[in-house]
Amino acid sequence: MAVPKKKVSKARRNTRRAHHALSTDNASICPKCLSPKLHHHVCKECGYYKGREVIQVSSSTA
C-alpha cells in the first residue's frame, strides 16, 4: 500500500488542483434573433439551428 513519506504542503496540494475549477459555458449569438445560445444547440428563442427552423417555438410566454 502506498503511504506518503512526507506531508504534502497546502501550496503543493493547491497547485496540483489548480486545473480542477469549473469553467462557464461560452454562449454565442443567434444570427436569427440575436439572443445568446449555446454552441451546437438549437436556439431556445426562435428554434433555429444552422439557418433552418428545427423546432416550433410558441409565441405565448404565459
The DSSP annotation for 14-61 comes to HHHGGG-S--PPPEEE-TTT--EEETTS--TTT-EETTEE-SPPPS--
pLDDT at residue 25, as a whole number: 81
How does pLDDT run across 14-62, given as a tens digit for each residue? 999 998 888 888 899 999 999 999 999 999 999 999 988 988 888 765 5
pTM for the predicted model, two decimal places: 0.54
pLDDT of 60 reads 60
